[in-house]
């Protein structure tokens, strides 16, 4: 899938620099998600939760949890997980996540931890499912992160990863690329008051592997039943897999 060449300065940043960037935009992150996705982000998360096929007794890890929207979508009663653990490396994102968790009726089932996707602070085979919502592209060593996900998943456990994509060769593609590469950074800069955060977004998406290549990475990490489901005309890809 051809994509515009990314700006290397924006696409490849040190983990501490990325964490600091998210710390600075945390207060406006949820508002921007609603605006920039036209409210579709809720539908994308609901579909990811659905693919885990939760029965009500599972423990699920939400990696790169951010402000915990996906973690809360997993929580009972709607999400049906018995316990959800959220892990993120941004202190400010976690601070906002804690506020949401405290207001949730399922707060007793929810845990938040500061940690790195490349060194998940959980034991081997300790969870039944893992979700990652728009965070895997921010991980510097994705191979290490996928190995960690495989380590903490129990045999048969399911993985669901949401990540941005690019529509195929349709009239929408040109419009979307213009929006994503030109208008989105401008809106993001005005609302977040951060000069580069929403220039980083299209650059990091452009640098992310194409769906076939990322599916191959999942298979090489030891996952089975690897699939890519394109959502909203390919704007978002939902990668699903099972721990073999």
pLDDT in the model for residue 88? 96
Tokens of 26: 């945390």
For residue 201, the model assigns a pLDDT of 66
pLDDT, residue 7, reads 35
- Percentage of the chain beyond pLDDT 90 is 61
What DSSP element (H or E) covers 63? Answer: strand 59-63
End-to-end CA distance of the chain: 28
**Residue 117 host element (H or E):** none
What's the pLDDT tens digit per position in 71-129?
999 998 888 899 999 999 999 999 999 999 999 999 999 999 999 999 999 999 999 99
pLDDT range class, residue 23, cuts 50, 70, 90: confident
**What is the token pair recorded at 43?**
């539908």
Per-residue pLDDT at 194: 60
Residue 110, CB-side half-sphere exposure with 13 Å CA sphere: 28
Q: What is the pLDDT of residue 6?
A: 34
Query: How high is the pLDDT of residue 9?
Result: 36
**pLDDT, position 172:** 78
Q: Provide mean pLDDT across the span 181-195.
A: 68
3-class DSSP assignment, residue 124:
coil
Q: What is the pLDDT of residues 49-73, one digit of tens each?
A: 999 999 999 999 999 999 999 999 9
Of how many residues is the chain composed?
244
> Which domains can be identified in the chain, with CATH numbers?
8-243 (3.40.50.150)
pLDDT of residue 38: 74
Enter the tokens of residue 38. 């036209």
Categorize the per-residue pLDDT at 5 as very low, low, confident or very high, splitting at 50, 70 and 90. Answer: very low
113-118 contact pairs (CB < 8 A, 24+): 113/85, 113/86, 113/87, 114/87, 114/88, 114/89, 115/87, 115/88, 115/89, 116/15, 116/89, 117/63, 117/64, 117/87, 117/89, 117/145, 117/148, 118/144, 118/145, 118/148
Angle at 108 between CA 28 and CA 149, to 5 degrees: 70
| Model confidence band, residue 171 (pLDDT cutoffs 50, 70, 90) | confident
pLDDT of residue 226: 98
Question: Is the distance from CB of 121 to CB of 97 less than 8 angstroms?
Answer: no
Indicate the average pLDDT of the chain.
86
Q: How many Å apart are CA 163 and CA 14, to the nearest integer? A: 20
Instruction: Please give the model's pTM, rounded to 2 decimal places.
Output: 0.86
Q: Which residues pair with 86 in a beta bridge?
A: 62, 112
């Amino acid at each position: 899938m051809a994509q515009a060449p990314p700006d290397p300065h924006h696409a490849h940043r040190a983990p501490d620099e990325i964490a600091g960037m998210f710390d600075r935009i945390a207060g406006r992150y949820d508002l921007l998600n609603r605006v920039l996705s036209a409210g579709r982000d809720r539908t994308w998360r609901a579909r990811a939760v659905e693919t885990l096929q939760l029965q009500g007794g599972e423990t699920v890890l939400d990696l790169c949890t951010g402000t915990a929207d996906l973690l809360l979508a997993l929580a009972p009663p709607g999400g049906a997980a018995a316990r959800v653990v959220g892990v993120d490396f941004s202190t400010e994102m976690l601070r906002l996540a804690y506020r949401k968790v405290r207001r949730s009726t399922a707060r007793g089932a929810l845990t938040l931890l500061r940690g790195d996707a490349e060194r998940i602070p959980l034991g081997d085979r300790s969870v039944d499912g893992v979700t990652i919502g728009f965070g895997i592209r921010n991980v510097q060593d994705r191979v290490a992160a996928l190995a960690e996900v495989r380590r903490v998943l129990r045999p048969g456990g399911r993985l669901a990863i949401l990540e941005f994509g690019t529509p195929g060769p349709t009239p929408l593609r040109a419009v979307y690329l213009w929006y994503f590469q030109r208008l989105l950074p401008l809106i993001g800069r005005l609302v977040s008051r951060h000069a580069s955060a929403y220039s980083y977004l299209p650059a990091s998406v452009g640098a992310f592997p194409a769906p076939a290549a990322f599916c191959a990475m999942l298979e090489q990490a030891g996952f089975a039943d690897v699939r890519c489901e394109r959502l909203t005309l390919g704007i978002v890809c939902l990668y699903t897999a099972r721990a073999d």
